[in-house]
Amino acid sequence: MKTLYVKFVVFTILIMICSSILAFFISNAYYQQNLKPYNDEKITNIAKSIVEYAKKHPKIDLNEYLENVSSIGYQIYMIDHVGEDVFWGAPFRDKSLSNGTKEQVLNGDIYHGILHFPQQTFVTGFFANELKNTIGVPLTHNGKHYALFIRPDIKLLFNEMHLLFGWLLVLTIGLSIMIVLISTKYLVKPISKLTSATTSLSNGNFNVDLDSNRRDELGELSQSFLRMARKLEQIDDIRKEFISNISHDIQSPLSNIKGYADLLENESISTEEKRHYISIIHEEIGRLSTLTKQLLLLASLDRNDHILKKQSFNVGNQIKELVKTYQWQVSEKEIMLSYSLPDIEMIGDPSLLNTVWDNLFINAIKYNKTGGNIEISLAKKGESIFVTFTDTGIGLKETEIERIFDRFYRANTARTRTIEGTGLGLSIVWTIVRLHDGRIQVNSRENEGSTFIVELPVN
């Protein structure tokens, strides 16, 4: 973060310096091209009018007159043929001026010192307080010839402006640097917060705090970062719960198997007991096998590598076949089974959909009361088919309905605990229905029964 901050500040200040230099060169070119000749012409005109006035009024005291002009804001130098010279106004810093120039002006030429002041001095040439930087004009008064050199007294005329512009410059630079320092901090701060949030995420702490109220790209980034953190936390919770559930579900049949195998080692037990223990071991192995089969199926559905092998088939016939295979379990529990399964063709993965009906039907038997009812119906409405399994079993509480499709969830009633199950069947059902772009709806009342309605697109 520090380097980004420093980079940003240095970069902005560099841009400021570069643009100042560029602006200086541009304004200098403008001064040399336009302002310098204009300034020269202006001063030349002023000098000419001074000369004109002196010429027209031979009676005035030249010394007094020029003293007056200088007090308005000019620096004046005058010399005659004999070499006698006088200065009025603020003294020149550099008084050197070639005798040739003085001679030329005495002989009637105009000297354009301002226009020809060296270009290397840039715009500052305007301020150079030198005798060379003047306009020289010939002046005749009372028959005597003089050379008059004049330039505006910049200090007198513009001193306040000078200071004002100086302060303006210093304040602009100072304030810009301060604003850059502060605004960069404001810009970079959320990035450094994101960095520490990332570190905390990678350390397994999902409780990150970010300012997601900003209405810019960084605000958006923070928001999606928070969403990602929440999602990761959920995934991590699910993973932990999954491992703990799975370990428990594998561990309990294994310890039962071990316990009964130990008992079988005892040679004094009767054949009757032996048979009983072996049948328990078989049951537990069956449980483990169902669990691993269901886990493998869920894993392949999750990985999406169980690409749907879709084909057209008769759903009504499929469910009728299934009902036949469970006939003996239905009669064993003295359940009244009724169904309406017309011939309806649909397109889907028959093997996966068979798993759906299988799980729903088994649940309707398992969670039913002895002597209860089961109704299965199939209907086509528009572009959808509806398969309904209704039972008059133990039913579910409102809060339980929300969770029955969660992996490993088993409604925690005393009765459910006596019924074999893994809590994976309905998650498999939900995943398969979703892969077919279908929906599943549950209506249930505790102690009255449940209805599971599966809606699937026909094509």
| Alpha-carbon Rg for the chain in angstroms | 51
Start-end of H helices in 57-121: 62-73, 99-106
Given the rule CB under 6 A, which of 146-154, 212-220, 326-334, 417-425 is the region that contacts ligand ADP?
417-425
Beta carbon of residue 218, minimum distance to ligand ADP (angstroms, whole number): 44
Q: Indicate the residue among 264 and 401 with the shorter CB distance to ligand ADP.
A: 401
Q: Nearest 5 degrees, angle CA 381-CA 385-CA 389?
A: 115
Beta carbon of residue 368, minimum distance to ligand ADP (angstroms, whole number): 7
The DSSP H or E segment spanning 385 is: strand 384-391
Determine if 421 is a binding residue for ligand ADP (CB under 6 A): yes
Rounded-to-integer distance, Cα 424 and Cα 439, Å: 18
**Binding residues among 425-444 for ligand ADP as defined by CB under 6 A:** 425-427
Nearest partner of 363 among 300, 251, 440, judged by Cα: 440
Binding mask 335-374 for ligand ADP (x = CB under 6 A): ------------------------x---xx--x-------
Rounded-to-integer distance, Cα 248 and Cα 255, Å: 11
> Do you know the residue count of the chain?
459
Rounded-to-integer distance, Cα 237 and Cα 198, Å: 19
Rounded-to-integer distance, Cα 454 and Cα 440, Å: 5
Binding mask 375-414 for ligand ADP (x = CB under 6 A): ----------------x-xxxx-------x----xxx---
Beta carbon of residue 352, minimum distance to ligand ADP (angstroms, whole number): 16
Beta carbon of residue 422, minimum distance to ligand ADP (angstroms, whole number): 4
Give the HSE-up count for residue 325: Cα atoms under 13 Å, Cβ half-sphere: 10
Q: Which of 423, 431, 433, 440 binds ligand ADP (CB under 6 A)?
A: 423
Q: Indicate the residue among 135 and 411 with the shorter CB distance to ligand ADP.
A: 411
Given the rule CB under 6 A, which of 5-13, 69-77, 272-280, 422-430 is the region that contacts ligand ADP?
422-430
Beta carbon of residue 221, minimum distance to ligand ADP (angstroms, whole number): 39
Nearest partner of 329 among 275, 370, 390, 375, judged by Cα: 370
Nearest partner of 128 among 139, 117, 115, judged by Cα: 117
Beta carbon of residue 272, minimum distance to ligand ADP (angstroms, whole number): 31
The dihedral through the CA atoms of 427, 387, 453, 392 has a sign that is negative
Beta carbon of residue 198, minimum distance to ligand ADP (angstroms, whole number): 37
Q: Which residues contribute to the site for ligand ADP (CB under 6 A)?
A: 359, 363-364, 367, 391, 393-396, 404, 409-411, 416, 421-427, 450
